[in-house]
Structure 1
Amino acid sequence: MVSRLFACFGRGSPSSSSSKAASHATSDAAAEEQRRSGPVVVELFTSQGCGTSPEAEALATRLGRGEIVPAGDVPLIVLSFHVDYWDYRGWKDPFGSSAWTVRQKAYVESLRLDTLYTPQVVVQGRAQCLGNEEEAIATAVRAGPRFPPPAMQVTFSRPTPETLQVSLTGPLCMKVDSSGADVMVALYQCGLVTDIGAGENRGRVLANDYVVRRLEKIAAVKDVSAKKVVSGSVLLALWDGFNPAKCGLVVFTQDHSLHIMGAQHFAIPDNL
């Protein structure tokens, strides 16, 4: 059952040398194609207050680990947004945010849907499906358009124990026309475990990965070439128990139709 808002979703011979050279050339070409075709971004909209979301959250974990669509086929970035509109049912999702509900509402409008629902998966900002339907998600991922990833360099610092400064600079590797686009930064956390004390999932222990804790716009761009260097910096407020080893950073470009046009992933240094 899908939960819906206002409705309970040695040396070789010359021939072998030639073969090796051809093999190396093929490998180089494959590596170049892989570089040019960056990851597909999969967004899960979910809630601990939704009885059908835990299955989708487990699926998202497997998806992020490459267990459903191998990274060698399609590299993936998974981001899980916990919405807040199920909180009234007795369990307040500790990772829920009205900002993520607003983001999902924007997708409802851009994808011309009738209503909000959880669990929902959005692929590259262009296609959506039920978040607990493995085959449908795999199909959407494989069909999703791919773009060269940004080639940005990142610098992390901790101005205070409660904040993380993120500075990025480099080319987006995608041309942005006069319609413009936003360069976004998402900070996510893995390895979260919650004992659910009320609501539809009462008595369950839920594990959550790729949970978006912060999402900020780092730059707004328009009329820029793929090679133009874009720079920006953002100060992110941290939470109690922040552990960089369990977190990651994603930078992605999204146009005003909410289409994602390239994404890049960064690990966060353990010594921050």
Structure 2
Amino acid sequence: MVRFSNNIIGLLNFLTFLLSIPILGGGVWLSKHASTECDRWLEKPVIAIGVFLLVVSLAGLIGACCRVTWLLWVYLLVMFLLIVILFAFTIFAFVVTNKGAGEAVSKRGYKEYRLGDYSNWLQKRVNNPKTWNRIKSCLQSGKVCTEFQNKFLNDTFPDFYTENLSALQSGCCKPADECNFTYVNPTTWTKTANATLNNPDCTTWDNDPNILCFDCQSCKAGLLQNLKTDWKKVAVINIVVLVFLVIVYSIGCCAFRNNRQENWKRY
């Protein structure tokens, strides 16, 4: 029973070590084969996560199985910091994603999104020109509006307005309803005499497939709506991970105590 906690920590870290290898390999592969801005964004974080898991798992594995007390102490310290960071991020995610939602439009199957409805912190991030240009490049290379165009190309005017569009499709691939543009096809709209240009997005819109509404406030809002949904899911997953980490940390503390007791017996 005395060595049970050491064995459990050793097993868990061995599995983590195995997991870190494909993650690290994936990051190295991305660094050599990245063809888009989105891929290059992923490259460094994936490598960093792989290296982190590799180093921490080795520390925990050697510390628990070889009775190296100082390595196990380092492992427990890193685990404690990780628990604190995850807890803080979870609270932060719930706070910054608490505001914002799509607005239902009369006789429309989709919602429209306004940047001002979301938290100030998120608004500042997407309003930064350098940040938004990288995000926009990602959206364009991801062919968000190309797929949108192909999917709804044969829709008539009434059919299109009943479609259930995603937040990005609604915000980035078509003009706002209040612009009163004339529908030609999903990504082609004609500005008419009765067009309303009070909304700055109406003047930003362009039928060029590379422009559309990628610089619109509605596109930024659509991205934040996606981010809000994803962060909510991540926050829930984080709670589960936190519970798991606390359990592992508790077992690790037992293993650390076992190491110290065995060291005392030797002397």
TM-score by length of 2: 0.20
Which protein shows a greater Rg? Answer: 2
Relative to total residues, which structure has the larger strand share, 1 or 2? 1
Relative to total residues, which structure has the larger helix share, 1 or 2? 2
TM-score by length of 1: 0.20
